[in-house]
Amino acid sequence: MRTFDFAAGAAVVTGAASGIGEALAHGLARRGSDLVLLDRDADRLAAVAAAIRAAHPHRRLATHLVDLADAAATARVAEEVRRDHPRLRLLVNNAGVALGGRFDQVTLDEFDWVIDVNFRAVVQLTHALLPALKAEPGAHLVNVSSLFGLIAPAGQAAYAASKFAVRGFTEALRHELADVGVGVTCVHPGGIRTRIASSARVGSGVPVEEYEAGRRRFEKLLTIDPARAAEVILRGVARRRGRVLVGWSATLPDLLARLAPASYGRVLALGMGRARAAG
């Protein structure tokens, strides 16, 4: 498959109002893509769009407000995107949410919220927009999984379930779409400095002190600039890589899971114990 041509059509990015999504939008604009940006945060999305328009006045750019937890709203936006942007070259399913707490500390509604945003919306948007991608020679699909699509630590049952699901879904699509010329990349970011920890929901059964301690430990791992992560991802797309790991905090756990797939939890627990002692 040839190197991906960013300038040949429009790119759809979800979760584009901050973090990796915002950085991807800027990186795509620099590479010549027209943009279709989706997010639920109106003010932040407007600010991102204004900055891109100021820096790249010749790029066509559209924004859509949508809460991806709402399946009906997601369907409406997908139809609008497909109608207004028939030449889709790239779909980046980047939006994600987090939930703190063990499985027995969260409600099923809280669990389902994570699955809805992180997995069901990915499936729904991909299903709706895949015909447009298949009609555009050399198109590409990017689904953002996570470090926790490689390993599944305690306290991340909902998030890990959603991100492992994204990984499996994406790998199957890579094999299904190989013969029709659509590239597929699964991205596993490590500790990217985004708002995901600060904006995460807390399970109803999680003591506040317990959650705050875990959040502080997790935020110490978020050291990679989103702009750097976006460049790694876009280089992977350009080269049509099927799998992109971002940062040592993704590559080392990936290796650990390969070497000790059933027992890496003990290593993680030891590392978290040391983190607690250091904190």
SS (H, E, C) the chain: CCCCCHHHCEEEEECCCCHHHHHHHHHHHHCCCEEEEEECCHHHHHHHHHHHHHHCCCCCEEEEECCCCCHHHHHHHHHHHHHHCCCEEEEEECCCCCEECCHHHCCHHHHHHHHHHHHHHHHHHHHHHHHHHHCCCCCEEEEECCHHHCCCCCCCHHHHHHHHHHHHHHHHHHHHHHHHCCEEEEEEECCECCCCCCCCEECCCCCHHHHHHHHHHHHCCCCECHHHHHHHHHHHHHCCCCEEEECHHHHHHHHHHHHCCCCHHHHHHHHHHHHHHHC
Q: What's the fold here for domain 6-278?
A: Rossmann fold (3.40.50)
Dihedral sign, Cα of residue 227, residue 199, residue 222, residue 116: negative
Specify the range with the lowest mean pLDDT, choosing from 86-100, 188-202, 226-240: 188-202
Mean pLDDT, range 100-129, rounded to an integer: 97
- Residue-level pLDDT at 243: 98
Bigger pLDDT: 8 vs 71:
71
Least confident of 11-25, 60-74, 200-214: 200-214
pLDDT at 279: 45
Q: Residue 183 pLDDT > 90, yes or no?
A: yes
Query: What are the tens digits of pLDDT across the range 75-104?
Result: 999 999 999 988 899 999 999 999 989 999
| pTM value surpassing 0.85 | yes
In this prediction, residue 277 carries a pLDDT of 41
Q: Which of the four pLDDT bands, split at 50, 70 and 90, describes residue 264?
A: confident
How much is the mean pLDDT over the chain? 91
Average pLDDT over residues 239-261: 93
Q: What is the pLDDT of residue 39?
A: 98
Domain ranges within the chain, ordered by starting residue? 6-278
Q: How many residues does the chain have?
A: 279
Q: Which residue has the higher pLDDT, 202 or 29?
A: 29
Question: What pLDDT was estimated at residue 275?
Answer: 44
Active site residues: 159
